[in-house]
Copies of this chain bind each other. A is one copy, B any other.
Amino acid sequence: AGMEKGRVAIFDSTNVSRKFRCEMVEELRSVVQSRSNVILVESVCEDPEIIQHNISATERSMPDYKGTESREEVVADYTARIQCFAARYEPLGDEDKVYSWIKTVDGGQQVILNKIFGYLPGRIASFVMNLHTFPKEIYLSRHGQSEYNLAQKIGGDSSLTAHGREYAVALAAHVHENVLRKFPRARLWTSTLRRTIETGELIRHEDVEVDGQPWITMRPRQWHALDEIHAGIFDGMTYDEIAEKDPEEFAMRKKNKLGYRYPRGESYLDVLQRLDTIVHELERQRDPILIISHQGILRIIYAYLMIDEIKSREESPHVAIPLNTIKVLRPHAYGCTCENLALLKSKAGPDGQTEKALDPPSH
């Protein structure tokens, strides 16, 4: 049944022997047509530091060890498991030249791609190459309230309101206190739109030294790929105006929020596509990253990271990303946790906007 829902399936097992792997690939050929549509992925690690790190990461999050009390017990058991597999494992090599495979050595120090052809296999290879198990925090924040938010308009490129600037102050204070002290190498990504740039503008950029290297804290990086979903001909209108002017389009969008493409604009599926680069970069980076972006975009990034919570693509456009709040995500070996920190206590803005204006319309 899953076959109809996607183009990639993952078969997770230890596949210790060459004989078993060959049989498996040949067996699958009846389903996938060509041998090269089955990609074996092997991760070889002999760096004791990485192994040690992986054991502790696993010990903390692996479902198998839930309820096990003693840390030593878990480490001993897991180390024994590794040794057991290492003794029996037949690595991919010259004898497997006829198959398609990706082999990463010591957490990406070396990567071997064998018979990896075509667009999707290439993207899969690039994705696998970017993966690592070093823990890092990811912070998601919407921009502060913008002029368009206040006017209930979608899209545009307006500046922050006084209330929005209040959030920028709170965000900078939070980042200085809670992020930069722990992680001087934390990074800052925004979209190219004014409201996200202004929201991050009060964060300090200091010349410091990290690990003996010069470093500018939170040097902002602007990504087009983080721009809000483009509403095409409806850009700059309120939802009431759209519903009035074009009830048919309005209804179509309600019916299929994921696939609906604004006339001359984008659909959530288009956004998914353009976030491909962001997701690869997010996986690759070992430093914590603060992403200041837009509700439509953060929904997709959140859904990608919180795969245990958001079970289908169809749910992702409905995720709530509250204003004035920073989401702290901590991916680990077996999932991801999320903590919400509301940085502005009062829901009422300084200039007495209504509740509605503080919860602006979103795509």
The residue in chain B whose Cβ has the minimal distance to the Cβ of A235 is B264
**Contact pick for A110, options B114, B119, B122, B274, CB 8 Å:** B114
- Specify which of A114, A126, A264 lies most central, judged by the most chain B CB atoms within 10 Å of its CB: A264
Q: A109 at the A/B interface (Cβ < 8 Å)?
A: yes
Instruction: Identify the closest chain B residue to A117 (Cβ).
Output: B108
Q: Which residue of B lies closest to A261 (CB)?
A: B192
* Chain A interface residue count, Cβ-Cβ cutoff 8 angstroms: 25
Q: Report whether B111 and A112 are in contact in the complex, using a CB–CB cutoff of 8 Å.
A: yes
Interface string of A115-140 (1 = CB under 8 A from B): 11111001000100110000000000
Q: Does the CB pair B119–A97 fall under 8 Å? A: no
Residues of B within 8 A of A82 (CB): none
Question: A273 → chain B, closest Cβ, in Å?
Answer: 7
Kindly provide the distance from the CB of A315 to the nearest chain B CB, expressed in whole angstroms: 24
Whether A245 is near chain B, meaning CB under 8 Å from some CB there, is: no
Residues of B within 8 A of A246 (CB): none
- Contact between A126 and B122, CB atoms less than 8 A apart: yes
Please indicate the chain B residues that have their CB under 8 angstroms from the CB of A264 in the complex.
Answer: 157
Indicate which residue in B126, B270, B284 contacts A224 across the interface (CB closer than 8 Å).
B270
Contact between B111 and A110 (Cβ–Cβ < 8 Å)?
A: no
| Contacting pair A119 B281 (CB below 8 A) | yes
A54 CA to B274 CA in the complex, in Å?
A: 37
Q: In A20-60, which residues have CB < 8 Å from any B CB?
A: none
Q: Are B110 and A113 in contact (CB under 8 A)?
A: yes
Chain B nearest Cβ from A251, distance in angstroms: 22
Contact partner of A284 (CB less than 8 A), chosen from B108, B113, B119, B274, is: B119
A281 and B122 CA atoms in complex are apart in Å by: 10
A97 near B126 with CB under 8 A, answer no
Question: In the complex, which residue of chain B has the Cβ closest to the Cβ of A105?
Answer: B114
Task: Say yes or no: A97-B116 contact (C-beta < 8 A), given A129-B122, A270-B224, A273-B224.
Answer: no
Per-residue B-contact encoding for A198-223, CB less than 8 Å = 1, 0 else: 00000000000000000000000000
Q: List 13 A-B contacts (CB under 8 A).
A: A97-B110, A108-B117, A110-B112, A111-B113, A111-B114, A112-B112, A113-B113, A113-B129, A118-B284, A122-B130, A126-B126, A157-B264, A224-B270
Give A residues with C-beta under 8 Å from B. Answer: 97, 108-119, 122, 126, 129-130, 157, 224, 264, 270, 273-274, 281, 284
